[in-house]
Structure formats: C-alpha cells, structure tokens
C-alpha cells in the first residue's frame, strides 16, 4: 500500500523535486557543485590534495548551509539578517510615547493660560473674553 505523508500544518509543506530535495536545496547544491568541482580540478595542479579538499569544503559549506538551513521558519538569509541585527544593534530599549495631539493640547493650554493672565489680549482660536 502506498503511504502518503500529510503535514498537519500547511505552512510546513515543501514541494520536493529531485531525491526529496526542494527547489532551493537543489539550486544551492548545484551551485556548490558548479563552483567546487572545477575548483578542485584546477587546485590540484598548484596545491596538495588535502589542502585543495579543505578549500573546497570551506567554500561548499556556506552554499549548502544557505540551501538546507531552516530555523523557526526562516531561511538562512532571513536568519542571518535577524542574528546580525540582534547582536549589533543597541539592545537598550527606551519607552517613549507621546500622542500626536499632545503638542496641540500644550499649545491650547498655553494660550488659555496667557488669556487668563492678560484679559485684554484676544486668543488665536477666535474667541474674545
């Protein structure tokens, strides 16, 4: 009997293309192969095999990480941006809130106060005492 896996949450569904890999994973793996295979062949002429292997692994690892990494439904790029923002932005949060009409209210109260202290001066909002 054929068994079909049905995800409980629709957001967790990922369409598989080749060998159970998503399109993103296929593209990143292909990019790693396209870069690292010629690099390995070309690098064997100038460096020992072990050194070339380490160079290839160090270049392929970030490419593969970009395709396969997921954390809290974030891709590698989204996670990297959030990680950098969290660690390099200032962490002290200052709570400042002022409603948009507070400046208008202050101005109104100031005019009202001035009108009370000098009764002969008309106010700017059109009322004369």
Phi first, then psi: give them for residue 15, nearest 5 degrees. -75, 130
Amino acid 124: pLDDT: 58
**Average pLDDT in the 90-118 region?**
83
pTM of the predicted model, to two decimals? 0.54
Domain boundaries, the chain: 10-88, 97-129
pLDDT in tens, 7-50: 777 676 667 777 778 888 888 999 999 999 999 999 999 989 99
Instruction: Give the list of residues 6+ apart from residue 118 with CB closer than 8 angstroms, or none.
Output: none
74 by DSSP, 3-state: which? strand
């Amino acid at each position: 009997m054929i068994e079909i896996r049905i995800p409980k949450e629709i957001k967790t569904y990922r369409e598989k293309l080749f060998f159970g890999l998503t399109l993103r994973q296929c593209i990143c793996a292909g990019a790693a192969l396209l870069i690292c295979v010629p690099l390995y062949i070309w690098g064997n002429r100038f460096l020992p095999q072990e050194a070339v292997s380490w160079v290839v692994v160090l270049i392929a690892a970030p490419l593969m990480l970009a395709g396969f990494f997921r954390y809290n439904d974030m891709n590698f790029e989204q996670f990297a941006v959030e990680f950098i923002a969290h660690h390099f932005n200032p962490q002290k949060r200052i709570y400042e809130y002022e409603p948009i009409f507070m400046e208008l209210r202050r101005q109104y109260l100031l005019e009202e106060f001035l009108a009370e202290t000098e009764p002969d001066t008309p106010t700017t909002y059109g009322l004369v005492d």
